[in-house]
A and B are shown apart, each in its own frame.
Chain A
Amino acid sequence: MKKFLKSFIQYYLKLLTKLVLWRHKPFIVAIAGSTGKTTVKEYILKFLREKHGEEEVRGNPKSYNTEIGLPLAILYLDSGESSAAKWIKVLVQAKMRALFGRKFPEKLVLELGVEEKGDMKKLLEMVRPNVAIITNVEGSYTYSNSSLEIIQNELRQLVSEIPEGGYIVLNNDDERVRELKGSAKGKVITYGFEEGADARATDSKTDAEGQTFNFSFQGKSEPVRIKKYGRHFVYAWIIAKVVKSIL
C-alpha cells in the first residue's frame, strides 16, 4: 500500500511539474555531483539575485533534489513526510499551483541528486536544464570505484542533455568530471585550481578570517576573499561568477 501511494505521489507530482514548467518556461540551471551542490546553489542564488532581483530566481528549498523532492522544489511546496493527510494537502496545493499559479520565477537553480543507476533519467523526464554544473564524483566508501562509474554515467546523461545553445560547467580538477567534456553538445566552461581551467583560482591561502585567492576568467583577474573554509566554497564562488556571466 505504501509503495502504491509513493508511486502515485511521484507520478502525480511529476505530471504537475511538467505542466508548470511548460506553462512558465523558466531558465533552468541544474547542479549535480557528489558533494557541494547546496553550497553552489546558495552562491548562484546570491549572485543571480543581486543581478536579477529576489523574485526572479528560486532554488530548491531544503535541498529537495530527488524524484519526489525535485517536484516539491519546483512547485515550491513542503514534503508531507510520513503523514497521509499532509500529502493530500500537498497534492491539492500542487494542482492549484500547476494549473492556476500566475507568479513563477524566470530562473530556477536546482540541485539534482543521483545515487543510483536510473536516477538522472527520472529527473530529466521532468526538467530540461539550460545550464548543467557538475561539482565532482567522489565516494563515501573505501574501495567503491564501480559505484563512482555509475554516478559518472548518470552525470554524463545530464551533460549530453544540454542543447547546443546551453552551457556545461565542469570541475577541471576532477578527472571523472573532466572526462564528461566529450559528451557535451553545449558550450563547456571548466573551473578549478589546476592549470587548464577556463575559470581558475590561484594563490589560495587560508587565515583566521577565511580564504583568499586570485580569480581569473575571460582574460580578467581579481583578488577574492571569502569568509568560509574549504575548497568547495572557492569552487562555489567561481561557479556562481561563471553562471552570472552567462545570464
Chain B
Amino acid sequence: MELRASRIPGVVSLAQGVPSFDTPEPIKRRAIEAIEQGKVAKYSLSPGILEFRETIAHYLEKENKFFDFETEIIATAGSIEAITATLLAILEPGDEVLIPDPTYTSYQSAIKVARGTPIFVPLDEEKGWAFDIDKFEKLITPRTRAFLFCNPNNPTGTIFSRNQLHALAQLAIKHNLYIFSDEVYKDFVFEDNGGSTSTGRSNLPLYSLAELRGIRDRLIYIFSFSKAYAMTGWRIAYLATHQELAKKILAVHDALVTCAPVVSQYAALAALEMADSELAKYHQIYKKRRDLICRRLDKLTKVFSYQKPDSAYFVFPRIKDEYLKKISTDGGSWQFAIELLEKARVATVPGAAFGPSGENHIRMCFGRSEEDINLAFDRMEKYFS
C-alpha cells in the first residue's frame, strides 16, 4: 500500500508503522562518537559488543527478566532478523507456527522463509481482541513447534493479560512448544486516568512471559529499538533466550548477518542509558495522538466502529457493512483501502493483510504527526459525506 501511495502525489499516510520523530540527540551523539573513536569499522562478536549486551541485561533485570548477557542475549539486525533466525534454527520444513489473527504481517513471511506454515488463531474481537486459549489448543498438531505473537499486539493495540499468557505458557509446556514474545511496543502502554511514569513507562501493567522462570528454556524474548526510540533505519534489536537455544540461533544469525550493525549497537546502548526522557516524551505524544485519532473516529461512527487501543500506535476500526459494500464492490478491505487511497488520498493498511480476522477492518497508525492525522480525517470526512 505504501508503494502504491508513493505514486500518488499529495497522499497523507496513516499506513506505515513508523514514528514521525527523528532519533533522539543523545543516541545520535553516541553513534557519532563511536564512529570518531574508530569503534564501528570492524565486525563485533557475533552476538554483539559486550558492553551493549551487559547493559541490556541490566535493563531487563529492572523489568524482572533475568538473562545471562554472555550466553543468552544476541543483538540482531532488527526484530525480524531475530524472529527469522530463531525460526530457521528451530523449524523443520512443514512445521507449523501458531500466530494470532490478526497480527503483524511479516510473521507470515518469516515463517514461510523458514519453510514453516503459519497457522492463524483468531483473536476474539468482542473481548477486545483477546486470546481464545481453546482455539489455540484445538489448532495444535504434531507439527506445531511454536507460538509467535507480539504483546502489545499490532494492529489491534491489545495487551494480553497475565492469565491469558499463563494459559499459553501451560499449553507450551504441555505440548513442548517454543514461545516467541515480541515486545516491540512495550513502552507505549496508555492509561486513561493516570499517564506514564517519569521514565515513560506506563503504570498499566504489561506482563511479559519473560518474567516467568518456569518457561525460560522455551521462551524467546524479542525487543526492537525501532519504535520506542525512533530508530527504524538503524536496524537494531535483540533477543534473549535460554543459552542452549541461543547457541542454535547464534549459528543462524552468524550465517545471515555476522553481527548486528556495530554503529547501531552503540546507538542502542545510548538509548538504554540516556534516552529515558525522550521515551517519556514520545509516550505522552502518542497518547495525545491516540486520543486525537479516537476523537476523529468518533465523528465517523457511520463508517467505522472501533476499540480504543490500550497500547502501541495503531487503531484498527471495523468498516461498517453499509459503507464497505458501497465503497468496496467486492466487499473487501483491500478494495476499501485502495478506494480510500485513490479517492480520498489517505493511505491505510487493509485489515486482511494481518490475517483473515482482520478482514472488514483497516489499520491506521497514529505514529504520524497530528497534522497528518487531522488532514487524513478531514479528507475522509469529506469523502464519506
Contact = CB atoms under 8 A, between A and B. Distances in A.
A38 B51 CA distance: 11
Interface residues of B, number: 29
B322 interface: no
Contacts of B67: 229-230
A36 B57 CA distance: 11
Interface string B20-53: 0000011001000000000000111100111110
Contacts of B68: 229-233
Contact of B44 (A35, A141, A209): A141
Given A143-B42, A208-B214, A228-B66, A138 B72 contact: no
Interface in A113-168: 138-144
Interface in B169-226: 213-214, 216-217
A232 B61 CA distance: 14
Given A140-B44, A141-B43, A229 B72 contact: yes
Nearest to B67: A229
Given A81-B26, A230-B68, A230-B69, A140 B50 contact: yes
Contacts of B26: 81-82
Contacts of A38: 54, 58
A93 interface: no
A34 interface: yes
Given A35-B50, A81-B26, A209-B213, A141 B69 contact: no
B71 interface: yes
Interface in B234-282: 273-274
A139 B47 CA distance: 12
Contacts of A231: 68, 70
Binding site secondary structure of chain A: loop
Interface in A66-96: 81-82
Contacts of A81: 26, 274
A44 to B, nearest CB: 16
A136 to B, nearest CB: 9
Contacts, number: 63
Contacts of A62: 273
B213 A208 contact: yes
A141 B37 CA distance: 14
A34 B48 CA distance: 14
Q: Among the interface residues B50, B216, B273, which one has the most CB atoms of the partner chain A within 10 A?
A: B50
Contacts of A82: 25-26, 29
Contacts of A138: 50
B325 to A, nearest CB: 54
Nearest to A36: B54
Nearest to A138: B50
A230 B70 contact: yes
A18 to B, nearest CB: 27
Contacts of B51: 35, 140
A25 interface: no
A227 interface: yes
A209 B214 CA distance: 8
A243 to B, nearest CB: 20
Interface string A195-222: 0000000000000111000000000000
Contact of A141 (B45, B52, B216): B45
A233 B216 CA distance: 18
Contacts of A233: 68
Contacts of A209: 213
A142 B42 contact: yes
Contacts of B52: 140
A142 B46 CA distance: 9
B25 A34 contact: no
Contacts of B54: 35-36, 38
B50 A232 contact: no
Contacts of B72: 229-230
A142 B43 contact: yes
Q: Among the interface residues A144, A209, A230, which one has the most CB atoms of the partner chain B within 10 A?
A: A230
Nearest to B51: A140
17 contacts: A35-B50, A35-B51, A35-B54, A38-B54, A82-B29, A139-B50, A140-B48, A140-B51, A142-B42, A142-B44, A208-B214, A208-B217, A229-B68, A230-B72, A231-B70, A232-B69, A233-B68
Query: Top 5 nearest A-B pairs by Cβ distance?
Result: A230-B68, A140-B49, A229-B68, A208-B213, A140-B50
Given A35-B69, A62-B273, A227-B66, 5 more contacts: A139-B45, A143-B42, A209-B213, A229-B68, A230-B57
